A and B are shown apart, each in its own frame.
Chain A
Amino acid sequence: MPRTAPPPDQARLQPFRLEALTPLNHEVLRLELSQIDGPPLTYREGQFVTVRLPDGTARSYSPAAACQGDGRLELHIRTLPGGRFSTWLRSDAGRSGALLDIGGPYGDCVWTPPATAGAPLLLLATGTGIAPIRAMLVRHLAGAGRHPVHLYWGGLDQPDLYLSEEFAALAHRHAHFRYTPVLAAATEPWRGRRGYVQAAAADDLPRLDGARVIACGSPAMVDAARTLLVAACGLAPDAFHADAFVAQGAAPMPSGDASLSLEVGLPQAPARRLAAPPGGTVLNTLAAAGLLQGVCGGQAACGTCRIGIAPAWRAALPPPGRKEARLLAALGSGPEQRLACQICLEAPLDGLRIELP
């Protein structure tokens, strides 16, 4: 099961300043953050933190550098078209100097040596799943003992593997470390491995009994790798550790363990109570129930997701951001109206009552 962060109200939040935002490739940005006050946040490499936007949206990210205990964080974030945090990062709000609250650390997907001496530690990553793995490598590789460490990093094409040179250099320096880039859709001439990371690793390392695997990145890769390596290579199931980067905003409605509820008043029908995954937007939940569709993809552009908020709940919502406020004003909205695509569901909003037009 992918682990999700506890609701932000239970978390200790610390204020951080966004110091720099640098593109690492066409879709990945490096964020450098520094803590403004409080005891410096410390983490074990491989853990993740939750970053909370001024509007309350919370997303999980894994630090990409070793912890120095100096209150600095480096994150690698793959921006997704239409993604809420991604859109914020690409907007003018997401400039250096912006303030963000950060909670954590969470998770226990950290560097764990193999159970058997001499057996390999296999690291698998897709995309920005490389961030926690890089942090672990920087911290532990030099002292990693003698067990072999294999890193397989997968992307579609060469630009996706934005740290390849760094890992090639590490492999050059450390004889027990091997780095294998794997491309699923190389367009330029490519003499390296093709296909998927888990398949490449299973080909190279057909015997994984006694080994340990750490997989970070796309949930599809994490699932496929667990199945393949246990079934085909004899990996012990409890030797597989993973952080699947499940999109919190877009996660399909979990069937049993949705912990929040949304109460929906309908114009011509009795009200309905919907289960709502924390971290998603009100629109995500309404769309999953087939009650409302947003035309612009949650961009606060179309106004089709405008809903009413029951009076008792109005004060509980974070105020609308600039983009939402401007569209609400342009639509001649009353104070009770909000855009469902801009309201992120979190624990304090459990039981939120809204009215559909």
Chain B
Amino acid sequence: MTTQAISSPDQARLEGVGPAFDPERLLHVRTLTRQAIQRIAAAIQPGMFEEDAVEMARDLLAEAGMLRGWHDVYVRFGSNTTKTFGAPSDPGVVLGEDDLFFIDIGPVLQDWEGDGGDSFVTGRDPDKARCAADARAIFHEVRHKWLSERATGRALYDYAVSCAAARGWVLNMDLSGHRIADFPHAAIHEGPLAGADFPPSRLLWVLEIHIRHPSEAYGAFFEDLLLEDSYF
């Protein structure tokens, strides 16, 4: 595995920012995003339809002035947690008593983008609880590699695959990190972090970890900015 930093002529271009870039504001949007995820999760109860949870999430975000997003609002229940970004959920999935769900939002506040995801369980299924906890744990394992070794985006995802496998999960490489910036980051770079042959800079990239069970229909998701320990 490559752990050495590869300097790339692309780095400056792919890490560009727009005219409204402001690290303070971006961090503020991140805080609001994490809080909104927790508020949405707290309002989700077993017995709810996924479609109703998505509507409820949009209402909560609208109340907080965070409805505008650079991507749609995702709340995935049960077997829909294995679906990749953008894929439609199977309709009519109801959250069970011993179930797993995740939230993925990308709100835009004024000119600044947020992006966050987290997974939650209902009840006491130990495997599902471990799945949700492992998505978060793998995120931090990979983030530590970034901090300690200045590894490239590509090496980080090679490592994420092995971290997931070591814990018995499969990593979904369709969700393999991306830029974040002043809105819209898509104007600068839409490619995945896993395709970056240079060590990503802090605050400019989102690390996404989407794992699923190798044979059963559930998975978990965690994503946040690449930042130092003090932010977590």
Contact = CB atoms under 8 A, between A and B. Distances in A.
Interface of A: 21, 23, 26-27, 29, 79, 81-82, 86-87, 89-92, 94-95, 295-297, 299, 301-304, 323, 326-327, 329-331
A250 to B, nearest CB: 15
Contacts of A89: 88, 91
Contacts of B186: 295
Given A21-B92, A81-B88, A297-B86, 5 more contacts: A94-B91, A299-B72, A302-B71, A330-B67, A330-B68
14 contacts: A26-B90, A29-B91, A81-B88, A90-B88, A95-B91, A295-B70, A296-B72, A301-B71, A301-B72, A301-B73, A302-B68, A302-B71, A303-B68, A327-B68
Given A92-B55, A296-B70, A302 B86 contact: no
B3 interface: no
A170 B120 CA distance: 46
A29 B87 CA distance: 14
A304 B185 CA distance: 13
A interface SS class:
loop
A90 B69 contact: no
B15 interface: no
Nearest to B107: A301
A304 B62 CA distance: 17
Contacts of B54: 92
Q: Which of A26, A27, A299, A330 has the most CB of B within 10 A?
A: A330
Nearest to A299: B72
A17 to B, nearest CB: 17
A301 B62 contact: no
A302 B69 contact: yes
Interface residues of B, number: 27
B71 A296 contact: yes
A304 B184 contact: yes
Interface string B60-78: 0010010111111100000
Closest 6 CB pairs of A and B: A92-B51, A330-B67, A90-B88, A299-B72, A81-B86, A301-B72
A233 to B, nearest CB: 38
A95 B52 CA distance: 12
A326 B88 contact: no
B78 to A, nearest CB: 13
B contact patch SS: loop
Interface of B: 49, 51-52, 54-55, 58-59, 62, 65, 67-73, 86-92, 108, 183-184, 186
Contact of B67 (A27, A79, A92, A327): A327
A91 B51 contact: yes
B54 to A, nearest CB: 8
B68 A87 contact: no
A89 B183 CA distance: 30
Given A92-B49, A326-B58, A21 B68 contact: no
A91 B62 CA distance: 18
Given A92-B52, A302-B108, A296 B69 contact: yes
Given A87-B88, A90-B91, A94-B91, A323 B58 contact: yes
Given A92-B51, A323-B58, A329-B62, A79 B88 contact: yes
Contacts of B69: 296, 301-302
Contacts of A296: 69-72
Contact of B70 (A82, A95, A302, A326): A302
A90 B75 CA distance: 13
Contacts of B92: 21, 95
A90 B89 contact: yes
Contacts of A86: 88
B67 A23 contact: no
Contacts of B59: 326
A86 B89 CA distance: 11
A342 to B, nearest CB: 13
A297 B86 CA distance: 10
A60 to B, nearest CB: 20
